Structure 1
Amino acid sequence: MNISPLRLLVNRTIRTLCPALLLLPVACSESGLTIRVIDPLTNVLPGIVCPPAGDDTVRVARGENAVLQFVISADDSVAAMNPVLRSLKTKQGASLDKAVLGWVRNVQASHAYVPAAPDALQSPSGEYPDPILTDTTVSIAAGGTASLWLDIPIPADAEAGLYEGSVRISGLKNGKRIVADRQFTIQVYPVTLPKQSLLVTNWYFPDKFSFMNDNEYVEDDSPAYWECMRQLVETASAYGQNVWLLYETGTPVPTADGKGLTFDFSRMDKTIEFLLRHADVRLIEANHFAKRSHNGWTDPFWANVPVPDGEGSYVYQRLPYDDPRVQQYIAAYFPALQEHLRSKTINDGSGRSWLDIYTQHIADEPLDENKTSWEGLAHQVKQAAPDIRIIEAYRSSSYDPALIDILVPQLDEFAWEIYRTMPAGHSCWFYTCMYPRGNFANRYVTLPLIKTRLLHWINYKYGSPGYLHWGFNAWGANGDPFGDVSAPANDWPGGDSHIVYPGYRKLYPSIRLTAMRDGIRDYDLLKMVEARDSIRAQAFVNAIIFDFDRYDTSVSRFRQIRREILDFLEDMH
């Protein structure tokens, strides 16, 4: 449908004027509650008053999420506060019915990592907002505050228009029920996002499932294991993950003479089939089979391989890449794996096999000092199974394109000249972890949320189609996952180890995970602009991302650019 320029101008004028009545905080004299709308890219720190959002209208495309943050304060103590989303409709009767409401909880981050970010958050209490608890009530003391998160998925077939709604907060004050309402608006543009194009992986850890099981051990392949896996995979997938680490390999089976090995792939198949049923799977990344020989950072990589014991069984040994037993294992295992993957079909009508989505890690983060051993292993894999692609978080200053297909440098090293042009058939992602620090974008709880969202604007600016992070649910390094989320002993900044929080057989998202998801969809918006006007797309991203570690982190400026992107795409509708 074509929309006339006059109608577009009228629509945009209405969007600007309608929210004006909603800019001030709403206080209910009877309840004693004050509800303010704070931009969800603002980290609301305990004891610090944040300015209200300059415009209560949330502007979104179809196929992304509208997110609001409310800060509730009270003149007297209020118990058992509970939120409800009231009707959210356009004047024409279209409605948005699904939403997630949750209270934002604070966590600690004690580790003073260096070099610190120049814009690192300074919390007087040492606490920072992060987990979103979706199944609880909260109480606040007189003069206290609580933050409420509202996350509304916008269906791809939603009617475009201005949706008006409100959130109602109820609670108990001096034993009596009180309520307070806060209005807001959502502008859904006649712009529909395509299927997510950015490739995203967060490494997950099944050995941490005890945190989802009342601290009771969860046995592999048990009903409890698969329930925890389902919760993890569905949560991660809902927030943009589409690349999945695979721990399982072919189980060695000694030959009849006890001198060789064949392989049983049934346990590996079970996990891949599970992922294909429960998640968006663009790639599988098989776990590393080699580690540093004595765990020193520059030590050579040794492979962990099964060696027949001559008595009908085998033992695992860590051996150098040029050991004949390593060479025999690779020469036997990887051709068998390659043909097994080729024999399995993805049931999506595409005609693809599992081999088309399979990638293999060799050993994590090779450096100049130990690259020779990494290349020795990669060369053997490529010789044995030339159709298996190799992916790696890569730290060396040079690479052999014959040995690696998907390079994943750390964000600060992604700036190196060797990554500016990729050979045909290769791609370059980037990753963040406990590094880089300083002014680089990352996912720590002590950084402004906008720096998490901008990770994927960096993907777009520098033509990087993928992002990797090691820590989805690596809970427990410093005890309680809801306590101190840093780990000083490991030099992990707050939040580096996990971006979700455990409940019993469930997961709670975080405000960082939400910012990351929304940045993933920003990437697709920029791709949509590029398809129409590549120069305009670069102008939009350049207004925010100046260099690998220099950005405009003004939330108001970011909202302005996002609005200009949506207006541009609406004009092209």
Structure 2
Amino acid sequence: MLNMSQKVDTTTLSSLAKVFPDEELKDAAYVKGSALLDESYSFQVAYRSAQLWKGVSVRVQSELAPYITLYEVGLAPSELPNHADHDEHCLRTAPGLYPDPLYPLSEAKVDVMAGQWRSVFVEVNLDDQVKPGTYEIKLSFEEQGQELGAAAFQLEVIGSKLPAQTLTHTEWFHADCLATYYKVDALSEEHWKLIRSFVRTAVEHGMNMILTPLFTLPLDTAVGGERPTVQLVGVEVTGQDQYGFDFSSLDRWIDMCIEEGVSYIEFSHLFTQWGVKHAPKIVATVNGEEKRIFGWDTDAMGEAYGQFLSQFLPQLKAYIVEKEIADRCYFHVSDEPSLEHLGNYEAASKRLREGLGDDVTFIDALSNIDFYERGIVEHPIPANDHITPFIEHGVDPLWTYYCVSQRQKVSNRFFCMPSARNRVLGIQMYKFNVKGFLHWGYNFWYTQFSTRAIDPYRVTDSGRAFPSGDPFLVYPGEDGPIGSLRLKVMREALQDMRALQLLEELAGREAAMALVEKQVDEPITFSSYPREAAWLLGLREAVNDAIKQSIHSHL
């Protein structure tokens, strides 16, 4: 006989809640919301019991059931939740287990832990065939057909389609990390299959630009060290300072990206990080053998690398022109140069423009306005805590990024931060007409400086270097990516931005901005904004309601 005296307690929460197993729920119950067509709407159901229940079935009862995917919110360890100089807007900063990975509930079963709150993440992927109206979504926790607990959510579907994303968005794609973790040869068929799977997930979550390794990425690499070779351009030394190039692997990569819905190709940096002093690692066939011909021992401004670039760049340009993608390609010089590197950067940039022409687009993450004012960088990407001078100078297109250093006041996505701090970025980018967003860590599964590989289920801080949540958005599944709370919340941020753009189309920018700043003490900036999840959720509901009213007024 089943002992039904100990049942499962449930609470419906927003997607922005973070449910820790060792504390009481801090977020208020959230039982209804609204969404547009072609939007992915999410909420959570937290659950616990006084006793352990193994293999409890989770059953969805709703007309929207065909559109619903369930995930178990897993726990990930963090030894470095944040650095010592963090601000006060963190949920906790002690090392421990944090909710983050999302494990698909393919068999719709969970273990209900005694005395521990856990949660199911409910994702409703609405296409434009769903009829407008209000739908109930009920989740039942059942044991042998008997209900142990249940929770319900009311979702209103508004009959207006979320517009296409206009933001250019890249999360740096580390193809070498895939080869390393899954123990497959670079650019083998197994590797290509994994690459496609991870690109597909990226696109599904609003990443429409993919970092493309012309040569092995010269990013986060110890001076003198090497990352595993993943090089899409084949190189052959044909004579003294003479080279031949094979674009077949690059062609396959770009075709795959386009097939998966990628809009923009972001070519990897052609000089090393933090100083523009050396060439990236480049491997070539020399007398029938593969050898490294450039790297840390190559002077960035030396004649040898100059000869190489003078031959390679025109052929690359001819390739992208012939493929009719030149207007969809972005180039990098070097990542994060500081003012002391300005001379090196300017010389390197000039060298690339000589080979590629002035009609290609260069972007680079940097935070000193001097690079822009001197005309060295036309499309700078400042960090969101250094963006104000770029806004004041009227930089257009305006891009931004954040990473390990942005832990004071501004938006970011560390494990220890509330999800609202991740999602508010969409509102900020809408207000300031941001055209592009960059982050360095879609799937960086190495330690800092790429000195060794890590298991991202055990090490989430790149070997106690970057706060957990900074190095990667996805985990490696059996044959493809496992998502995270942060991945889903970032997509919600992008959807908020798109919803505001729709409202602007319908009612004007003034009306949209009036809603954004209706209940704030001071104008929203990248560092000043309401911190509460309730404000964000309420704002989005107000935007949806305004869209609905505007639609009705036009009928």
Q: Can you list the C-alpha shifts for 1:416-463, whole angstroms capped at 9, x where unaligned?
A: 2476412xxx52211111121122110101000011111222211222
For residues 496 and 282 of structure 2, what CA distance do their matches in structure 1 show? Answer: 45
Matched, 1:421 2:404: no
Residues 311 and 220 of structure 1, relative CA distance in 2, 3 Å threshold: closer
**Structure 1 match to 2:267:** 286
Which residue in 2 is equivalent to 1:92?
none
- Closer/same/farther in 2, CA of residues 212 and 30 from structure 1, 3 Å limit: farther
Partner in structure 1 of residue 479 of structure 2: 505
Out of 330, 338, 342, the position equivalent to 1:359 is 330
1:226 aligns with 2:205: no
Structure 1 segment 308-347 matched on structure 2, within 5 A:
315-317=293-295, 318-344=297-323
Residue number among 246, 249, 254 corresponding to 2:237 in the alignment: 254
Q: Deviations over 1:16-67 (max 9, x none)?
A: xxxxxxxxxxxx9766111111222111122222256454112111111221
Q: Secondary structure at the match of 1:120?
A: coil
Deviation at 1:72, TM superposition (A): 0.9
Residue 379 of structure 1 pairs with residue 350 of structure 2: yes
CA distance in 1 between partners of 2:378 and 2:479 (Å):
37
CA distance in 1, matches of 2:94, 2:112: 19
What does residue 219 of structure 2 align with? Answer: none
Displacement, 1:389?
Answer: 1.5
Alignment TM-score, normalising by the size of structure 1: 0.84
Q: State the secondary structure of the residue aligned to 2:516.
A: helix
Q: Paired residue for 2:217? A: none
Which residue in 2 is equivalent to 1:566? Answer: 544
What is the rounded CA distance, in whole Å, between the counterparts of 2:343 and 2:240 in structure 1?
A: 33
1:325 to 1:515, Cα distance in 2 relative to 1, 3 A: same
**Distance in 2 between residues matched to 1:242 and 1:195, nearest whole Å:** 11
Could you tell me which of 395, 401, 418 is aligned with 1:431?
401
In the comparison of the two structures, how many residue pairs are matched? 515
Give the Å deviation of 1:311: 6.5
Give the 3 Å change call, closer, same or farther, for CA 309–446 of structure 1 in structure 2. Answer: closer
C-alpha spacing 1:86/1:211, structure 2 compared with 1 (3 Å): farther
Mapping of 1:8-27 within 5 angstroms? none
Matched, 1:59 2:34: yes
Superposition pairs for residues 67-216 of structure 1, below 5 Å?
67-88=42-63, 95=64, 97-111=66-80, 112-122=82-92, 126-135=96-105, 137-171=109-143, 179-209=148-178, 213=182
**Distance in 1 separating the partners of 2:294 and 2:185:** 21
Question: Which residue, out of 363, 366, 369, partners 1:394?
Answer: 366
Deviations 1:269-314 (A, max 9, x none): 1111111112x2221110012115xxxx5x4522247699997887
Q: Which residue of 1 aligns with 2:527?
A: 549
Q: In the TM superposition, what is the alpha-carbon distance from 1:125 to its structure 2 partner? A: 7.3
Q: Which residue of 2 aligns with 1:524?
A: 498
Shift of 1:476: 4.6
Q: What is the alpha-carbon distance in structure 1 between the residues aligned to residue 435 and residue 65 of structure 2?
A: 32
2:422 is the counterpart of 1:455 = no
Q: CA deviation at 1:564?
A: 1.3
Following superposition, the deviation at residue 504 of structure 1 comes to: 1.1
Distance in 2 between residues matched to 1:287 and 1:98, nearest whole Å: 37
Distance 2:233 2:459 in 1: 38
Is 1:514 matched with 2:488? yes
Q: How does 1:264-279 map to 2 (within 5 A)?
A: 264-278=246-260
Counterpart of 1:276 in structure 2: which amino acid?
I
Name the structure 2 match of 1:10.
none
Change (3 A) 1:46 1:308: closer
Which residue identity lines up with residue 278 of structure 2 in the other structure? W
Q: Secondary structure at the match of 1:36?
A: strand
Percent of aligned pairs with the same residue? 22
Distance 2:43 2:97 in 1: 21
Q: Which amino acid aligns with 1:57?
A: K
Counterpart AA for 2:184: V
Select between 390-399 and 228-237 the one with higher mean Cα deviation.
390-399
Deviation, structure 1 residue 163: 0.6
Deviation, 1:81, is: 2.2
Q: Which runs of 5+ in 2 are unaligned?
A: 215-231, 448-452
Runs of 5+ in structure 1 lacking a partner?
Answer: 1-27, 89-94, 345-352
CA distance in 2, matches of 1:339, 1:475: 34
Q: CA RMSD in A?
A: 2.6
The separation in 1 between residues aligned to 2:139 and 2:284, in whole angstroms, is: 65
Cα distance in 1 between the residues matched to 2:544 and 2:283: 59
The equivalent residue for 1:15 is none
CA distance in 2 between partners of 1:333 and 1:116 (Å)? 45
Inter-partner Cα distance in structure 2 for 1:80 and 1:536: 50
Tell whether the 8 Å contact from 2:132 to 2:157 is kept in structure 1 after alignment. Answer: yes
CA distance 1:437–1:52, shift in 2 (3 Å): closer
Distance 1:306 1:39, change over 3 A: closer
Which 10-residue stretch deviates more, 506-515 or 325-334? 325-334
Closer/same/farther in 2, CA of residues 513 and 419 from structure 1, 3 Å limit: farther
Q: Distance in 1 between matches of 2:206 and 2:342?
A: 32
SS of 1:550 mapped into structure 2: coil
